Amino acid sequence: MLAQANQAPNTGARASDAPKRAPFRWGFLSSLAVLLVLTFSGQALIALLRPAFMAGKGAYIAGGPGALLDPALYFEALSKGPGGALRPALLGLFLLASLGWTWANRGAVQRYFTAMHTGVVTVSLSLLAVAAGVMIPQIDPVDDPDARVMAPGVPGSNYEQHYQQFRFAQSYFLWHLLHLYGFGMPSGEIPPQAVAGLERRADRYGSEEAKNTEKQMRAAIAGQQKGQLIEEFATRNDRALRGFFDFSSRFELNRIYRSYWFASLMGCLFVAIAFNTFKGGPQRWFKVQKLGFFLVHVGMLILLTGGGLSRSCTERGIMHLYKGGLDEERDGTYDRRDGDIPPIEDTFYEHFTADRLARMPFGVSLEQFARRDWLALVVRFNDDQGRANPPTHTLWKGRRIDLDYEYLDAAGRVLETNADGDPIDASGVLLAREELDKRPRLRIEVLSLHDQAEVGEPTVREAQPGERPAGEDPLPLAILVLPDYQRILNSGQPGPGDQLPTRKVYFSPAAGEEFEVRGFADPLGSFRLLTVAEGDPRAAFPPSEGQLGEISYRIAAGGERLDGRLPVSIGQRLPLPGGYEILFQKATKSYREDPVSGQVLADERPLAEQAFVAPAVTATLYGPDGTSEVRVLHDRRPSARQRSREAPLALDAVELTLEWNEWFAPGPPRFVLGWSRASGGGLAAYIEDEAGQRQTAALGARLPLPGLSPVQLESALLDAVVEPRVEFLDEGVVKGPGYDPDFYVEAPRGVELRVISDPELPERRREQTVRLATTQEGNASFWFPPRGDLVVQFIENRAMMPFEWRSVLALHEPMPDGSWKPLDLGPPAQREIRVNDYFQYRGFRFFQTNAIPEAPLYSGIGVVYDPGIPWVLAGMYTVIAGAAFAFLLRPILLGRKPASPSA
């Protein structure tokens, strides 16, 4: 028919009667070729149009949405560069021509974008782009979207820094690729000397803990060896790696997701999806067969729209906030009301230059911040001190921790152990731990945890017979009630009817040699009292030889540190190591300086008559080279620091610390307080003076001492057990969600434990309840069990990530006069940030990003302004709904299996 038509001359056949050419059938390669052209064309177009986009952003910042409608703005922006005004004209022509051609060939364009091969190729190319991003380390810091690798020679270049990261990352990957399945990989063998430690760990903390430690050791050892091998690999291949790095930088393969070609590819994906989503008209979209897929495609369109908005309009930053600080001067520097914290520049404000879309039109300060760490127990066995890191057991209510295992034979009897702690049989043969049954000797159960604990007055009692471990000395203890002169000074002299403020003080002759722990001197200067233990109390009265105490010295000489002590005696010139000498010239018990002139206000009375307020000794230190300087040595204050506000010390290699001993120094009359078991049972206490005169001291009564200070002996014990008393002020730990003011209360945290000895032996099982608090006060964070071979410590585990951190922000409006007016946004509950629950205000989202344990007032707050977020989230939810409908619901609704091939 075609031949006949061709042969018939002048038949008048019109062109429209000729058979139409079959439309081009797109294949994978042809689709790919066109897609690549479109992608790179789009890249060029974006680069060319970017100045107009930035001009629009700037105009929007300056003048609001209305400013976007000025065409001259864009014309001017596009005119910058080669060609001048010709550029926008040519660009405009090109765009018009492209649009015209597209309209004229809309059928072909539609066929291209609706072809299956095009869809597959577009998705596949996107997939490859993302895959490339995974195979090449990306430089895409969140707060600087335009970050690029700079040229190597440029001052301040980041080239080398980024190359080193690239080098390691690629070497790590390639090295592992060449060592699949462990071929040639270091195996991380445990050194033999560590095996015994692992066995001991199993004995103490259980075999699971020991096995995990072993696995971690292997990984660490292998990792270390592997690291060296990877570094060697990187060094050998440095040239090739550098070439690859330069190639990646040149084609922006290390910032794929911020590149124009990726944005262009996403644009093509958007167009392809759009063409396929809306074909067939609304009557087709909402059919059960199509609805799910329609929703998925619509969701993708919304998602990509949001992604485009995010890409072009997002602003991010981090604010380093300290409690109470505010940017008073609007220079990006947060001022601190507390002068000790240095100002830190806020990177978020740094980020705001004139070409940024969003600037925060309000000030932000940190009203409240708190961090909660995980509560944990650390159990240390005395035998392991310095040899092993004990595990940290995180605590939660109901947790059970078994410790200190003993091994059993087949009959359930406890096996003996050798000197190394290894289980042995009756004939001394070593037995394998893995084959033996075992049971714990100690079990700790967590009864409750608390966020607010208070350490009260400790309970003191006599030790039960056998309670003190063998070999440990008894602890005699006297509890005295003394006037609280500090409170009296602060609040004024009490009236005639008022009760004198008092304080309870514990003294023990076994607590040490220092006078302060064994006795005290009356501030009114009437007496000195010392507690004594067994033996002749008169031995406590040393003959007075003018010794006022001791100095401890630390001398840096010849690269060494020399420590020692010397007795302090006025008028004595004593040698020190390193060729130094010291001459003690005078002493006072009430050293004072005029706060204005700095002049020393000397107390000229004899030492014995001076009030024991601020003892100090004036001494001259002589150096080996003949130099000398006068030093005033204050009680328990190292001399190197005391003059820090004045000129530095000449002989600064010598540090001297005075330890005044008020019991030895001249002073008021001395008395000793002693007690012992009375013949008829009970306790007999006495006061004895230096002359040997003894008087009975009754419990609960005022001691027969001279002067006005009433000192009462509340109790005396021969062998005291002191247990810190911990009270809990709340019901339990604060748990989210929701604002809780208790979270910000600064208080020690507490735990109540049930400790069971021999938990699996009914005949020997013993339970006790122990309360601990995370404070050094009263040693409340430690528990020393009676068995004496271990210590349990209760801590807030700051070594790892915290349990939670929260901040409450305050926002402030800038006033025309430069001041800040607080914005009323409601109670703290409305302004709190928790991790996974950010705070939002006027399009700005504030989230918790980090904190520093050493800086408890600091909170790192991330800020983001991203108008694309709602779009993207909506798109994602729509895609999920569509996928669920298409693959799960659709087969059920249609009553058919999903295997039917329906396009």
Interaction with another protein in 119-138: which residues (CB under 8 A)?
119-120, 123-124, 126-127, 130-131, 133-138
Q: Which range in 423-431, 663-671, 718-726, 890-898 contacts another protein by CB under 8 A?
A: 890-898
Q: How far is CA 340 from CA 161, 211, 345, 364, 851, in A?
A: 34, 47, 16, 20, 18
Using DSSP's 3-state secondary structure scheme, residue 126 falls into helix
CB of 786 to another protein, least distance (A): 28
Sole binder of another protein in the list 216, 695, 769, 819 (CB under 8 A): 216
CB of 244 to another protein, least distance (A): 10
Q: Is residue 902 part of the contact set for another protein (CB under 8 A)?
A: yes
888 versus 893: smaller Cβ distance to another protein: 888
Q: Is residue 161 part of the contact set for another protein (CB under 8 A)?
A: yes
Sole binder of another protein in the list 829, 888, 893, 894 (CB under 8 A): 888
Q: Is residue 862 part of the contact set for another protein (CB under 8 A)?
A: yes
Q: Which two tokens stand for residue 97?
A: 């021509």
Of 362-401, binders to another protein (CB under 8 A) are 374, 394, 396, 399
Task: Give the x-and-dash track for 620-639 against another protein (CB under 8 A).
Answer: --------------------
Of 254-293, binders to another protein (CB under 8 A) are 257
Q: Which of 302, 359, 319, 369 is nearest to 844 (CA)?
A: 359
CB of 316 to another protein, least distance (A): 6
Q: Is residue 879 part of the contact set for another protein (CB under 8 A)?
A: yes
Of 336-365, binders to another protein (CB under 8 A) are 344, 347
344 versus 431: smaller Cβ distance to another protein: 344
Using DSSP's 3-state secondary structure scheme, residue 659 falls into strand
- What does the chain come to in residues? 903
Sole binder of another protein in the list 320, 441, 450, 831 (CB under 8 A): 320
Task: Give the x-and-dash track for 650-669 against another protein (CB under 8 A).
Answer: --------------------
347 versus 779: smaller Cβ distance to another protein: 347
Contact 550, 566 (CB under 8 A): yes
272 versus 780: smaller Cβ distance to another protein: 272
Sole binder of another protein in the list 366, 482, 617, 864 (CB under 8 A): 864
Contact 890, 289 (CB under 8 A): yes
Q: Which of 693, 696, 683, 706 is nearest to 537 (CA)?
A: 693
Sole binder of another protein in the list 222, 600, 653, 823 (CB under 8 A): 222
Phi, psi angles (nearest 5°) of residue 831: -120, 15
Q: Is residue 407 part of the contact set for another protein (CB under 8 A)?
A: no
210 versus 326: smaller Cβ distance to another protein: 210
Sole binder of another protein in the list 74, 591, 686, 805 (CB under 8 A): 805
Q: Which range in 116-124, 322-330, 538-546, 698-706 contacts another protein by CB under 8 A?
A: 116-124
Using the 8-state DSSP alphabet, how is residue 887 labeled?
I
CB of 758 to another protein, least distance (A): 17
Sole binder of another protein in the list 53, 105, 110, 215 (CB under 8 A): 215
Give the span between the Cα atoms of 314 and 871, in whole angstroms: 13
214 versus 516: smaller Cβ distance to another protein: 214
Contact 537, 670 (CB under 8 A): no
Sole binder of another protein in the list 849, 856, 857, 874 (CB under 8 A): 849
Sole binder of another protein in the list 704, 802, 828, 867 (CB under 8 A): 802
CB of 177 to another protein, least distance (A): 8
Q: Is residue 848 part of the contact set for another protein (CB under 8 A)?
A: yes
Q: Which range in 76-84, 165-173, 408-416, 622-630 contacts another protein by CB under 8 A?
A: 165-173
Of 413-442, binders to another protein (CB under 8 A) are 437-438
Q: Which two tokens stand for residue 404?
A: 């200190």
Using the 8-state DSSP alphabet, how is residue 671 labeled?
E
Report angle CA 48, 51, 53 to the nearest 5 degrees: 100
Report angle CA 314, 317, 318 to the nearest 5 degrees: 155
Report angle CA 303, 307, 309 to the nearest 5 degrees: 120
138 versus 642: smaller Cβ distance to another protein: 138
CB of 469 to another protein, least distance (A): 30
Q: Is residue 141 part of the contact set for another protein (CB under 8 A)?
A: yes
H/E stretch holding 71 reads helix 71-79
Lookup result for tokens 């998602």? 303
Using the 8-state DSSP alphabet, how is residue 665 labeled?
S
Instruction: For residue 756, count other CB atoms closer than 10 A to its CB.
Output: 19
* Residue 273 neighbours by CB under 8 Å, 6+ apart: 297, 300, 301, 304
Of 712-751, binders to another protein (CB under 8 A) are 736
Contact 316, 862 (CB under 8 A): yes
Sole binder of another protein in the list 207, 526, 552, 590 (CB under 8 A): 207
From the centroid of its chain, how far is CA 756? 34
HSE, side-chain direction, 13 A CA sphere, residue 901: 0
DSSP notation for 345-356: B-HHHHT--TT-
Give the span between the Cα atoms of 255 and 885, in whole angstroms: 36
Q: Is residue 883 part of the contact set for another protein (CB under 8 A)?
A: yes
Q: Is residue 212 part of the contact set for another protein (CB under 8 A)?
A: yes
Give the span between the Cα atoms of 770 and 459, in whole angstroms: 13
CB of 670 to another protein, least distance (A): 53
* Residue 333 neighbours by CB under 8 Å, 6+ apart: 327, 343, 344, 345, 346
Contact 290, 333 (CB under 8 A): no
Give the span between the Cα atoms of 588 and 638, in whole angstroms: 17
367 versus 804: smaller Cβ distance to another protein: 804
Q: Which of 316, 358, 317, 308 is nearest to 872 (CA)?
A: 308
For 816, counting Cβ atoms within 10 Å of its Cβ (0-12 exposed, 13-18 middle, 19+ buried), the class is: exposed
Sole binder of another protein in the list 54, 61, 874, 884 (CB under 8 A): 884
Its sign, for the CA torsion 752, 757, 759, 764, is negative
Task: Give the x-and-dash track for 288-317 against another protein (CB under 8 A).
Answer: -------------------x--------xx
Q: Is residue 796 part of the contact set for another protein (CB under 8 A)?
A: no
85 versus 123: smaller Cβ distance to another protein: 123
Using the 8-state DSSP alphabet, how is residue 535 labeled?
S
729 versus 869: smaller Cβ distance to another protein: 869
Q: Which of 185, 184, 175, 189 is nearest to 232 (CA)?
A: 175
Sole binder of another protein in the list 146, 208, 473, 746 (CB under 8 A): 208
Sole binder of another protein in the list 70, 76, 144, 550 (CB under 8 A): 144
Contact 733, 374 (CB under 8 A): no
53 versus 173: smaller Cβ distance to another protein: 173
Residues binding another protein: number (CB under 8 A) = 109
Using DSSP's 3-state secondary structure scheme, residue 718 falls into coil
Sole binder of another protein in the list 223, 512, 788, 822 (CB under 8 A): 223
CB of 898 to another protein, least distance (A): 5
Of 169-188, binders to another protein (CB under 8 A) are 169-170, 172-173, 176-177, 180-183, 187-188
Beta strands across the sheet bearing 855-865: 315-322, 855-865, 844-852, 839-841
Lookup result for tokens 């879309």? 357
346 versus 688: smaller Cβ distance to another protein: 346
Q: Which range in 9-17, 111-119, 480-488, 521-529 contacts another protein by CB under 8 A?
A: 111-119
Bridge partners of 333, per DSSP, are 345
Sole binder of another protein in the list 98, 599, 695, 836 (CB under 8 A): 836
